[in-house]
Amino acid sequence: MNVEGRHSVFVLEDEEANRHTIHDLIAGRADLTLVFSARDGEEALQFLRGALPEIAFIDINVPLKSGIRVAEAAATVGCTVIFTTALTDYALRAYRLGAADYLVKPVDKAHFDTAVDRALALRAGGRPHASAEDRLQTVLRDQYHLTPAERELCELILTGCPRELLEERTGKTARTIKSHLQSVYHKTVNSDPRSRNEGRGDKYGRLVYFLFALKERIG
């Protein structure tokens, strides 16, 4: 659904202050137009049954129906999803659902614009080429100085491997996995100023977000 040459946007957000912030950010872009704003998951699902918005900003922890459920419904009608949430522990699941980005509240203009540009690029067919994984491994090695074992963990995380299965998939002990993850976090999230506002929760959640965001930038 394209409205007067602009990309149609749908918002699911139950907190009034955050909803107004997102509305203002949408209004500040000439290429976007807000077509609907829902305060709960059920209202959002009802809207999606009769509309085809292009981009959706979806909070995860909302009343009646989970934002994850709404995101799944949005994806089935061809909508590109951007999550907006205070939770970092859903980052991996969000990307496995094909989300264009995962914005942690409070949402600022710089991260908002980056997320929108990424979503529009995906809709235009700008997905990473097959060599993106090789480029990512090169950056992790040369820019962040990750060891082969640390890069292996990153690769597993990016394929959607749950944290609890990393030990089984690598054949390493839980203590070794923990040590590697701490090292990766220190070399990437802690050392890269771009990650300062990309996730505010547990360290593993921030690391997952960082890796997927880095993959998108490289791609």
- Bond preceding residue 128 cis, omega within 30 of 0: no
Provide CB contacts within 8 A for 193, sequence distance 6+: none
Q: What is the pLDDT of residues 132-173, one digit of tens each?
A: 666 777 778 877 889 988 988 898 888 888 888 888 888 889
Q: Which domains does the chain have, with CATH numbers?
A: 2-123 (3.40.50.2300), 132-218 (1.10.10)
Query: For the whole prediction, is pTM greater than 0.95?
Result: no
Question: In the prediction, which pLDDT does 130 show?
Answer: 36
Question: In the prediction, which pLDDT does 27 show?
Answer: 94
Return the bridge partners of 81, or none.
56
Question: In the prediction, which pLDDT does 128 show?
Answer: 38
Residues of the chain where predicted confidence (pLDDT) is lower than 70: 1-4, 87-97, 126-134, 192-201, 218-219
Question: In the prediction, which pLDDT does 129 show?
Answer: 38
Q: 83 with 111: CB under 8 angstroms?
A: no
Question: In the prediction, which pLDDT does 219 show?
Answer: 58
Question: In the prediction, which pLDDT does 127 show?
Answer: 46
